[in-house]
Amino acid sequence: MAKHAGDLEFTAPLYTLSDAARVVNVPPATLRNWARGYVFKGIDGAQHQVDALITTTGVGHGPVVPFVGLGEAYVLAAFRQAGVPMQRIRPAIHRLEREFGVRAALASEQLKTDGAEVLWQYGEDDPELRDSLVVLRSNQLVFRDVIEEYLQTITYREGHVALIRLPQYKPEVFVDPLRNFGVPTLASRGIRVDAVKSRLDSGEPAELVAEDYRLDVGEVLALAA
Any domain includes 98:
yes
pLDDT for the residue numbered 185 = 98
Any domain includes 105:
yes
pLDDT for the residue numbered 205 = 96
Any domain includes 71:
yes
CA distances to 157, 187, 195, 224 from 218, rounded to whole Å, are 33, 16, 16, 10
Any domain includes 80:
yes
Grade residue 6 by pLDDT with cuts at 50, 70 and 90.
low
Tell me what percent of the residues of the chain surpass a pLDDT of 70. 96
In this predicted model, what pLDDT tens digit does every residue of 41-75 receive, in sequence order? 777 877 777 789 999 998 878 999 999 999 999 99
User: Is 80 exceeded by the pLDDT of residue 18?
Assistant: yes
Number of domains present in the structure of the chain: 1
In this predicted model, what pLDDT tens digit does every residue of 110-161 receive, in sequence order? 999 999 999 998 877 788 888 889 998 988 899 999 999 999 999 999 999 9
| Residue-number span of the structural domain to which 61 is assigned | 8-163
Grade residue 2 by pLDDT with cuts at 50, 70 and 90.
very low
Q: Which letter, b or e, does each residue of 190-213 get, where b requires 16 or more Cβ atoms within 10 Å of its Cβ?
A: ebbbbebbebbeeeeebeebbeeb
Any domain includes 138:
yes
